[in-house]
Amino acid sequence: MKKRNAMRRFVVGLLLMLMIFTLPSGKPFNRMPGKQVKTIVIDPGHGGLDPGCNGANEIWEKAVTLAVSMKLGKMIEDSMQDVQVIYTRKTDKFVELWERPNMANKIKADLFISIHCNSNVNTTAAGSETYFMGLHKSQGNLDVAKRENAAIKFESNYKTNERYGGFDPNSPEGHIIFSLVQNAFLQQSLKFSTLVEAHTQRISRIKSRGVKQAGFLVLWQTAMPSVLVEIGFLTNTSDRGVLKTDDGQRTIAKGIFRAIRQYKKEVEKMATPKNQDDSKPVNADSSNLRR
Ligand SMILES: [Zn+2]
């Protein structure tokens, strides 16, 4: 029995080590992720054969997330000339969960924003929540991650896909193990999450339920600050009223846009050396500091 426990501990330890060392690496440090916002990946949750959650048979999550994402992207493209926006999907198509962060890593994005809608059997549950990677503090937060991570079941080969490191959506531990691993961008992710909740609450009818943490598969392998925004509950009449209308979607997009604007300003200000004459450029993109 003792031997068995020791073996089990060894296997779990080995798994954790593997996860740590298989995290995306090789990101060139001259771009210093988390020090600037030049490339943003917007990830509309679900799509195609994966519809996400449903609101009173009126609307599917995949349609709302796409509409809000496209509005948000347009706002950025229209007013931030130095920022490139990449979408993980622009149409109603299925994108596997591993592919979403993979796109962001490949182009060395500075910020990853996954947009989702919440759902609950209790139809009085309402409000938005912004998540970043970490151990959940309540069963409710874990449940949200479990539901979102279950999208993996639409992928026919997820059990053999090495990119998931043997993740089993049916195992309670599965949703927890990888939430313990990533921490390189926690501070920036927390900062951005806080801004998203503050700004959306200010202008949207949907109230804020705050900033939370849980183990989301789609955030796990991102090599940059990353968040998942649950923009509201499709199962709540009032939230749904906002989420399904063009105006409501625009208000939420505007809240997230304002959060990006403030985040970018603060992050880039902090990365700029105070005494420019004595300081060397902090990264490749600060070449304008050179004379
Ligand atoms: Zn979702």
Model pLDDT, residue 170: 84
The DSSP bridge pattern shows strands 128-133 and 226-233 to be antiparallel
Question: Could you give the CA distance from residue 252 to residue 241 in angstroms, rounded to a whole number?
Answer: 13
Q: What is 11-61 written as a DSSP string?
A: HHHHHHHHHHHTS-----TTS-TTS--SEEEEEE--BTTB---EETTTEEH
For the chain, list the domains and their CATH numbers.
Answer: 31-272 (3.40.630.40)
pLDDT score for 154: 93
Q: What is the residue-level pLDDT of the chain in tens, covering all 291 positions?
A: 455 555 555 545 545 544 444 444 334 334 566 689 999 999 999 999 999 999 888 899 999 999 999 999 999 999 999 999 999 999 999 999 999 999 999 999 999 999 999 999 999 999 999 999 988 888 999 999 999 999 999 998 988 888 888 888 888 788 887 777 656 899 999 999 999 999 999 999 999 999 999 999 999 889 999 999 999 999 999 999 999 999 999 999 999 999 999 999 999 988 877 654 444 433 433 333 332
> Coil, helix or strand for 115?
strand
Q: Token pair for residue 82?
A: 């130095």
Q: What pLDDT, on a 0 to 100 scale, did the predictor assign at position 272?
A: 77
What DSSP designation does 138 have?
A: S
**Which candidate, 191, 180, 183, 218, places its Cα nearest to that of 35?**
191
The model's pTM is: 0.84
Contacts of 224 (CB under 8 A, 6+ apart): 33, 34, 104, 105, 108, 109, 110, 111, 112, 185
Neighbours of 280 (CB within 10 A): 9
pLDDT of residue 274: 64
What pLDDT shows up at residue 5?
57
Non-local (6+) Cβ contacts of 208 within 8 A are: 127, 128, 129, 197, 198, 200, 201
Cβ contact 180:191 at 8 Å: no
Q: In the prediction, which pLDDT does 97 show?
A: 95
134 C-alpha to ligand 1 centroid (Å): 18
DSSP H helical ranges for the chain: 2-21, 61-79, 99-106, 139-149, 174-177, 186-203, 217-220, 237-243, 246-270
Distance in Å, CA 215 to ligand 1 centroid: 14
* pLDDT reported for residue 3: 53
- Asked if 212 and 129 touch (Cβ cutoff 8 Å), the reply is yes
Q: Which residues surround ligand 1, an ion (CB under 5 A)?
A: 45, 52, 116, 148
> 165-191: per-residue pLDDT in tens?
888 888 878 888 777 765 689 999 999
Q: Are 92 and 49 in contact (CB under 8 A)?
A: no
User: pLDDT at position 9, please?
Assistant: 56
Distance (Å) from CA 43 to ligand 1 centroid: 11
- Kindly give the pairing relationship between strand 111-118 and strand 39-44: parallel
Q: How far is the CA of 45 from the centre of ligand 1 (A)?
A: 5
Distance 230 CA to ligand 1 centre (A): 8
